[in-house]
Amino acid sequence: MAGRLRMMFLGPPGVGKGTYATRIAPKLNIPTISTGDLVRAEIKQNTELGKKIKDYSSQGKLVPDEIILTMVRQRLQQTDAQKGYILDGFPRNVSQAIEFDKIATLDTVFNFELPDWVLVEKLSGRRVCDSCGTGYNIADIKNGEYVMPPLLPKVDSTCDKCGSDKIIQRADDTLEVVKHRLQVYTDETEPLIKYYADKGILKSFHVKKGLADLPRINAMLGIQEDSKL
């Protein structure tokens, strides 16, 4: 995989691309770049871009592609991104991809696949500690090739990290919202599969066991099996 480190992880909400990216990127000595993280950083630092983003958010509007692309361009210019990077969840649609092609080139796009019924179970099963943000999942998926055990607190209803008993389901993880998010992905983001396939840089990966699939992903990336992730 040497020389081909400029990557994008593509896939629907709940497929695990962010989790995979945060474990794989350090082993390749490249950063994970998430537009969500970039947005939060701009707001926290109260930059001019951050102020514009807050204005759009307060009006219930989506952040324009121009602002997103400006943030990404600035991030790619930082030293740690010179050897490569993993884009997590960006570009979000074909129009963003076309504009991104004007500022950078991707070598490989990994498309992570899971059936909708698994995604619905995983997303609606997510729970989070309301005090410290530690994540859990009550979904216990055992169906044919799909084996994804739950991630539960060691002590029932008590956060392992801070001891709080306030482990909740976030509003955006309710069944109705989850189904809407998956439909938005199908309508807006899924066309990227064909876009990158036509460029000859798409590699598809069928998720079966969540984190336990990491060795298979490592093999595709040329990461040694004894690497600790």
Q: Does the bond joining 91 to the residue before it have cis omega, within 30 degrees of 0?
A: yes
6 has catalytic annotation: no
How much is the pLDDT for 157?
A: 85
181 has catalytic annotation: yes
Pairing of strands 126-129, 167-168: antiparallel
Q: Which domains can be identified in the chain, with CATH numbers?
A: 6-115+189-221 (3.40.50.300)
Nearest-angstrom CA–CA distance, 62 and 65: 9
170 has catalytic annotation: yes
Q: Catalytic one among 52, 54, 92, 203?
A: 92
User: Residue 212: helix, strand or coil by DSSP?
Assistant: helix
Q: Structure tokens of 64? A: 């324009």
User: Residues 51-70: pLDDT tens digits?
Assistant: 999 898 888 788 899 999 99
How much is the pLDDT for 229?
A: 43
Residue 228 has pLDDT above 50, yes or no: no
**Where does 52-196 show beta strands of DSSP type E?**
85-88, 108-113, 126-129, 135-137, 141-143, 146-148, 167-168
Q: Averaged over 158-184, what is the pLDDT? A: 93
Q: Catalytic one among 166, 170, 194, 199?
A: 170
Residue 91 has pLDDT above 70, yes or no: yes
CB count, 10 Å around CB of 186? 12
User: Residues 187-220: pLDDT tens digits?
Assistant: 999 999 999 999 999 999 999 999 899 999 999 8
One-character DSSP codes across 124-162: HTEEEETTT--EEE---EEETTEEE--B--SBTTB-TTT
Residue 18 has pLDDT above 80, yes or no: yes
pTM: 0.88
Nearest-angstrom CA–CA distance, 120 and 174: 10
40 has catalytic annotation: no
How much is the pLDDT for 87?
A: 97
Q: Catalytic one among 17, 75, 122, 127?
A: 17
Nearest-angstrom CA–CA distance, 153 and 160: 6
73 has catalytic annotation: no
Task: Say what the alpha-carbon torsion angle 157, 137, 17, 82 is, to the nearest 10 degrees.
Answer: 10
